[in-house]
């Protein structure tokens, strides 16, 4: 699955299509006015040495020209206002009945993602990654844990702020499968640029399989190295911030790691999720992503190797 370009001019969701329409309508109307204005300006410059009419004839001409321009501007602005109103209505109507409900909480600098189901046992928690079935009408409730962030998947919809103490909402309805880049679009501190996520749109079967894997709980290590890794995880400071289903770690200050290895990105897009990157991240998170809230946990080399092996196995 290739990574989609993150472009508002390549709409691949219902909402993004409406936004692309209004963007092209405004570009067309304003571009036409600008071209007309420049055309008349050039014409005036070319004709300035010709003998111009004077007196009553000149006044009549100015009046006619003014009426024409004012008419054009009024018609143009009314047209754009109407197009904007219709787009707004279309956006409200789109995806009005949620088939998938999500809660996304913004943190400095990562995204907490929770699938909310009427049946609590079907709830899924992940981070920096959103899986959706193609065509589904999705409602995402947005909130923030600290400062103002902004949720933006350019190919699927516009931006929506996440505001501390308030709940906002954004709706998505992806029309094609693929991987879509998402960003924080509101400056929120030193690592704002590495507050990224991905939306993975897949077929209904692939989505159901992904959800079933997430619900299955974390992998239980069977070999000595990974078992040692889990012991290191439980003994070190990790459980103070993270959760892994089936261990003593149940905190939500940092991302849920129950299926950490199934995610393509590490540290909200700062790195791809490979073993080498994971080791570099664990050894010194501040060198990879300065200012982030993950402390340096000093571990002997053997413990670090075990920890990397364990976390890397959490598919």
In the beta sheet, which residues pair with residue 142? Answer: 104, 168
> With respect to ligand CUA, which residue has the nearer C-beta, 189 or 239?
189
Of 92-100, 182-190, 212-220, 298-306, which segment contacts ligand CUA by CB under 6 A?
Answer: 182-190
Q: Which helix (DSSP H) or strand (DSSP E) does residue 59 occupy?
A: helix 55-93
CB of 195 to ligand CUA, least distance (A): 4
Q: How far apart are CA 209 and CA 124, in angstroms?
A: 13
Residue 182 as a binder of ligand CUA (CB under 6 A): the answer is no
Coil, strand or helix at 154 = coil
Site size toward ligand CUA, by CB under 6 A? 9
Of 184-192, 199-207, 223-231, 237-245, which segment contacts ligand CUA by CB under 6 A?
Answer: 184-192
DSSP state letter for 260? G
For residue 190, count other CB atoms closer than 10 A to its CB. 13
Residue 138 as a binder of ligand CUA (CB under 6 A): the answer is no
Q: Which of residues 98-137 bind ligand CUA (CB under 6 A)?
A: 106, 109
CB of 99 to ligand CUA, least distance (A): 27
Residue 186 as a binder of ligand CUA (CB under 6 A): the answer is yes
> With respect to ligand CUA, which residue has the nearer C-beta, 114 or 303?
114
CB of 74 to ligand CUA, least distance (A): 40
Q: Give counts: helices (H), strands (E), the chain.
A: 7, 12
> With respect to ligand CUA, which residue has the nearer C-beta, 142 or 288?
142
Q: Which of residues 15-44 bind ligand CUA (CB under 6 A)?
A: none
Q: How far apart are CA 106 and CA 74, in angstroms?
A: 43
- Site for ligand CUA (CB under 6 A): which residue of 138, 188, 199, 232? 188
- Tell me the CA distances in angstroms from 15 to 89, 94, 182, 221, 308, one per residue in order: 11, 7, 15, 43, 41
Coil, strand or helix at 105 = strand
∠ at Cα 290 (149, 4), nearest 5°?
55
> With respect to ligand CUA, which residue has the nearer C-beta, 11 or 269?
269
> With respect to ligand CUA, which residue has the nearer C-beta, 159 or 279?
159
In the beta sheet, which residues pair with residue 149? Answer: 162
> With respect to ligand CUA, which residue has the nearer C-beta, 17 or 161?
161
Q: Which of residues 250-309 bind ligand CUA (CB under 6 A)?
A: none
Whose CA is closest to 126, among 142, 138, 114, 108? 114
Query: What number of residues does the chain have?
Result: 315
CB of 73 to ligand CUA, least distance (A): 38
> With respect to ligand CUA, which residue has the nearer C-beta, 184 or 265?
184
Residue 149 as a binder of ligand CUA (CB under 6 A): the answer is yes
> With respect to ligand CUA, which residue has the nearer C-beta, 173 or 196?
196
Six-digit token pair at 165? 């103490």
> With respect to ligand CUA, which residue has the nearer C-beta, 195 or 267?
195
- Residue indicated by tokens 């992503």: 289
Residue 184 as a binder of ligand CUA (CB under 6 A): the answer is yes
Q: How far apart are CA 279 and CA 299, in angstroms?
A: 11
Coil, strand or helix at 115 = strand
- Site for ligand CUA (CB under 6 A): which residue of 192, 211, 277, 293? 192
Burial class (CB in 10 A: 0-12, 13-18, 19+), 51: exposed
Residues engaged in binding ligand CUA (CB under 6 A): 106, 109, 149, 184, 186-188, 192, 195
């Amino acid at each position: 699955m290739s990574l989609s370009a993150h472009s508002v001019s390549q709409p691949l969701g219902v909402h993004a299509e409406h936004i692309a329409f209004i963007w092209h309508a405004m570009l067309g109307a304003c571009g036409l006015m600008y071209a007309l204005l420049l055309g008349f300006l050039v014409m005036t410059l070319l004709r300035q040495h010709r003998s111009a009419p004077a007196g009553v004839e000149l006044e009549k001409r100015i009046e006619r020209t003014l009426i024409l321009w004012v008419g054009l501007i009024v018609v143009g602005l009314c047209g754009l206002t109407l197009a904007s109103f219709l787009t707004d209505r279309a956006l409200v109507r789109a995806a009005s009945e949620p088939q998938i409900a999500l809660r996304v909480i913004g943190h400095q600098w990562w995204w907490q993602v929770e699938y909310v189901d009427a049946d609590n046992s079907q709830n899924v928690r992940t981070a920096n990654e959103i899986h959706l079935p193609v065509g589904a009408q999705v409602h995402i409730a947005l909130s923030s844990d600290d400062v103002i962030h902004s949720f933006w998947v350019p190919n699927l919809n516009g931006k929506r702020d996440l505001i501390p103490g308030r709940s906002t909402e954004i709706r998505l309805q992806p029309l094609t499968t693929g991987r879509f880049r998402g960003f924080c679009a509101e400056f929120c501190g030193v690592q704002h640029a590495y507050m990224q996520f991905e939306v993975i749109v897949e077929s209904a079967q692939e989505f159901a399989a992904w959800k079933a894997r997430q619900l299955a709980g974390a992998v239980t290590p069977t070999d000595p190295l990974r078992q040692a890794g889990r012991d290191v995880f439980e003994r070190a400071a990790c459980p103070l911030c993270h959760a892994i289903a089936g261990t003593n770690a149940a905190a939500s200050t940092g991302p849920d790691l129950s299926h950490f290895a199934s995610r393509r990105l590490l540290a909200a897009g700062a790195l791809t999720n490979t073993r080498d990157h994971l080791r570099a991240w664990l050894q010194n998170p501040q060198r990879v992503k300065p200012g982030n809230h993950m402390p340096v946990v000093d571990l002997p080399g053997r413990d670090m190797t075990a920890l990397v092996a364990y976390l890397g196995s959490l598919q």
